Structure 1
Amino acid sequence: MKLVAAKVPISTVWTGPDAPRDVDAPATAEQPDVAAWAKSMDRESRLGLHGRTLSQLLFAEPVLVRSERDGWSEISAPWQPSSGDELGYRGWVPSSHLGELPGSATDPVAVTVPTAPLLSEPAVGAPVMTLSFGTVLASVEHADGYTRVATPDGGSGWLANDVLRVVGEPSTPEDRLRLGALFLGLEYLWGGTSAYGLDCSGLTHTVSRVLGLRIPRDAHDQADTLENIPIDDAQPGDLYFFARPGKPVHHVGFVSATGMLHASETGKRLEDEPLPDERRRMLVAAARF
């Protein structure tokens, strides 16, 4: 196995090289356009992602390549812990989406806004690409309100300081809700971990990543790994978990003053709403970071 990194802003992780459909071509292109892909899909197309997509990699995220076939790489993503693979979440991505790890640097920073331009030079530089919320990069230097970050294949770029957060800074429950609320109204996307679409555990995982907390990718693993607390003790910023009788946890959301901030399901949008009776009947656990 070799350790590499995603060199495109967002690389969708698939169940196999044959999983993508014609409608998924923008997501699998050498230079993927995930925004256009998400915009092009209707509800039926999004439902068809079940059993096809697994997760997403963000720019510069490290991955282990396990095997390669027909222009595709089987990978494990160590930043996305999973009970299914001790090396990290496992799936397939186009090999063209992968490059060499960024050079050595320090003080990781995370993008805290939905999207941010990566510039070739501070302030006046041309945008190199648009990065998604949740992207974590190692900083190299700071100058005049900008931070230079290391990028794959030996490159670097600049980001405005006002779109970044130092990953190691302490965070609060209010930070989790504030960042999650950035995506109110965003359409649910199975396997999504980016600003163009999130699923339920993608929301909680990616917000946690920005705040320097590496939690599992899937809801059932989050429930098994995080510190469980009595449901009645849950406070805003904690997590609620849901399961049907005799089944594993299938849904997660942030506890909020209203009820729950969550990415509900395909066909719906991220919302902050009171818990309806049907959902409350499936509430089985709560956890605190």
Structure 2
Amino acid sequence: MTRRILTVLLGTVLVTALTLPAAHATAVQDPLAERAYVGVSVATVWTSPTSPRALDRSAVAAPADPAGWLGAMTAADRRELTTASRTQTQVLYGAPVQVLERRDDWTRVAVPGQPSAKDDRGYPGWIPSAQLTTGVAFAGLTAALPAGTVDGVATTWLYAEETRTERLREISAGTRLPVLSGDSGGVQVSLPDGGTAWIDAAHLRIGGPEPATGEDLVGTARLFLDRPYLWGGRSGFAPDCSGLTGLVHELHGITIGRDASDQATGGRAVAKDDLRPGDLLFWNSPATHVAIYAGDGQMIEAFDASTPVRVTPVRFDDSYAGARRHLPDPA
């Protein structure tokens, strides 16, 4: 988006939205009575309320500290998340979830933006209740104002309203927040708890994405190179294999299944000799691993707990199960 378009959005659309009576946003009733919003930078969705370990304390806290959590874990600690199937997926700051059940300090949710064969309402699992907010006013602003999406970086920072230099919270690529105002240096956004913060204008895309090419998908995937692997990860802090490919597509306005097995049943089948950048490659049946084809016999993948996101040659081994293309057909 050009700076001129940004100025138009911030100078006209936002003025109109912000001069509405205060009651306009808060009076909008959420059509889903059991909807909540993520109130931490990244909410990890756990298999059960008993899944977190003592060393996962910073991941279930409010506020959460995803970078601190990852930094405190060894490769063996991250691998144990996989072997014990402790984590399911992650949901980004400000994203909606559907509440299915409340139990003590935990809430079972479905994540509507992450399709899954496990539940037709969205990917299911458990989130600490303290990491969720009802966000009625936030929902109204989300409906009334332009959305700003963190893009072009794996993670970025929200800054305090008063100084615009004090760091408040690190957030992931793909985070979407209502835009209130802005200038060439920063954009003011609304937060799920009712507060506001500033973000670097260079790290925020206002409005929807442009139609994507396969090369666009590969360029976005490269943003996450060298990030650690995390089972259930679906953020710029640390993704798993399908979390990486799902987030990359989401950043370009394309919703695909959350797990490799779901992604392998969508889109269109692609033969080996017709592979193009942006195609997804799968292994095993049902698929248990996915990578994104980068061209010239290379792929980008989040492989395992010992291996950061990497570029590596495509493995056409006995477990290779084919490729799918999720980009829309050209007009």
Could you say whether these structures have the same fold, taking a TM-score greater than 0.5 normalized by the shorter chain as the test?
yes
1:106-145 Cα distance to aligned partner (Å, 9 max, x none): 3322212122111233873533211112212232333334
The structure with the greater share of residues assigned to strand is: 1
- CA RMSD in angstroms comes to 1.9
Cα-to-partner distance string for 1:172-227 (whole Å, 9 max, x where unaligned) = 22221112112212221101112221100000111122222222211111121223
Count of residues paired in the alignment? 285
Q: After superposition, give the CA deviation of every residue in 1:14-33 in whole Å (9 maximum; x if it has no partner).
A: 00000111111111122211
Residue type matched to 1:156 in 2? Answer: T
SS at match of 2:114: coil
Output the CA distance in 1 between the equivalents of 2:214 and 2:185: 27
1:260 aligned partner:
299
Of 62, 67, 78, the residue aligned with 1:35 is 67
Cα distance between partner residues in 1 of 2:133 and 2:44: 15
Which residues of structure 1 form unaligned runs of 5+?
Answer: none
Three-state SS of the structure 1 residue aligned to 2:247 is helix
Cα pair distance change 1:241/1:30, threshold 3 Å: same
CA contact (8 A) 1:111 1:133 kept: yes
Q: Which residue pairs with 2:324 in the alignment? A: 286
Question: Which residue of 2 is the match for residue 275 of structure 1?
Answer: 314
**SS, match of residue 152 in structure 1:** coil
Distance 1:257 1:277 in 2: 14
* Cα distance in structure 1, aligned partners of 2:185 and 2:39: 25
Cα distance in 1, alignment partners of residues 291 and 196 from structure 2: 35
> Out of 158, 161, 164, which is 1:124 matched to?
164
2:81 is aligned to 49
Which among 183, 189, 207 is matched to residue 248 of structure 2?
207
Normalised TM-score (structure 1)? 0.92
Instruction: Give yes or no for the alignment of 1:134 onto 2:167.
Output: no
Q: Name stretches of at least 5 consecutive residues in structure 2 with no aligned partner.
A: 1-32
Aligned to 2:272: 231
* Bigger helix share: 2
Change (3 A) 1:82 1:276: closer
Structure of greater Rg: 2
Q: Matches of 1:86 and 1:31 in 2, distance apart?
A: 30
Which runs of structure 2 are paired with 1:157-196 in the superposition (5 Å)? 157-166=197-206, 168-170=208-210, 171-196=212-237
**Does the 8 Å contact 1:122/1:146 carry over to 2?**
no
Q: TM-score if structure 2 supplies the norm length?
A: 0.80
